[in-house]
């Protein structure tokens, strides 16, 4: 990795990016659907329709906005079943080496996830990669919303460590990662291995790649 990227920063997404949890997500989603009588869906269908805020995703499937009561039931069921299934999931192939190489090049990195903060931090620690990150932030407050304001707060908290939005690249698997990056003055690279299909990502305007190694290579150029 060239010296020219020293000082650049990557904000990594967690679910569907560093943490390959597609199986847990689709199992939890179908468990949530079962609670209100919806038929199960495939991962491919999920990736075609997924969006945030999450109630809008459910609207695409149901043909209407879920009621507040339905949302509460589905949200509770999703998080319960996700926790059960996530134990079988691991880091994306090659992720540990990519994190180590980025750090060894004199660059910094952090995690911002919409997964609950109290669940995220011990999970990152469990994989032995916490030391690679200046900061690990999960969601605080209600689930199901956009990452945009969280991104502003995340980068603001890193300003004292020399992290500047123009030299920051967000790597994530969702269109909302690019929206959040733009909102905070950063750039984004979107990865096809998670929650979105390539077609749904390509309409966002950020570079789209098929591997995390490609994502880091593109991030180098964007952060120069």
The pLDDT of residue 2? 42
Looking at residue 3, what is its pLDDT?
42
pLDDT for 23 equals 95
Which pLDDT value is given to residue 120?
97
**Pairing, β 168-172 against β 136-139:** unpaired
Report the distance separating Cα 206 and Cα 215, nearest Å.
11
Q: What is the pLDDT of residue 18?
A: 98
For residue range 30-66, list pLDDT tens digits in order.
Answer: 999 999 999 999 999 999 998 888 888 889 988 898 9
| Residue 45 CA to its chain's centroid (Å) | 19
Q: Which residues of the chain have pLDDT under 70?
A: 1-6
Q: State the pLDDT at residue 1.
A: 42
**What confidence tens digit (pLDDT) does each residue in 61-94 have?**
888 989 999 999 999 999 999 999 999 999 999 9
């Amino acid at each position: 990795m060239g010296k020219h990227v020293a000082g650049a920063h990557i904000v990594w997404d967690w679910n569907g990016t560093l943490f390959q949890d597609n199986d847990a997500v689709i199992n939890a989603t179908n468990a949530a659907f079962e609670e209100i009588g919806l038929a199960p869906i495939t991962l491919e269908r999920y990736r075609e329709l997924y969006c945030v805020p999450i109630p809008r995703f459910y609207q695409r499937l149901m043909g209407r906005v879920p009621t507040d009561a339905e949302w509460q039931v589905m949200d509770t069921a999703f998080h319960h079943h996700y926790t059960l299934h996530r134990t079988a999931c691991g880091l994306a192939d090659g992720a540990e080496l990519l994190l180590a190489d980025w750090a060894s090049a004199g660059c910094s990195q952090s995690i911002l996830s919409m997964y609950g903060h109290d669940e995220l931090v011990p999970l990152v620690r469990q994989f032995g990669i916490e030391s690679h990150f200046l900061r690990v932030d999960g969601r605080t407050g209600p689930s199901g919303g956009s990452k945009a304001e969280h991104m502003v707060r995340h980068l603001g908290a890193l300003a004292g460590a020399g992290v500047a939005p123009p030299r920051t690249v967000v790597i994530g698997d969702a269109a909302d990662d690019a929206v959040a990056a733009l909102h905070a003055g950063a750039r984004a690279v979107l990865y096809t291995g998670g929650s979105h299909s390539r077609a749904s990502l390509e309409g966002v305007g950020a570079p789209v790649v098929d591997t995390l190694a490609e994502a880091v290579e593109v991030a180098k150029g964007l952060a120069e």
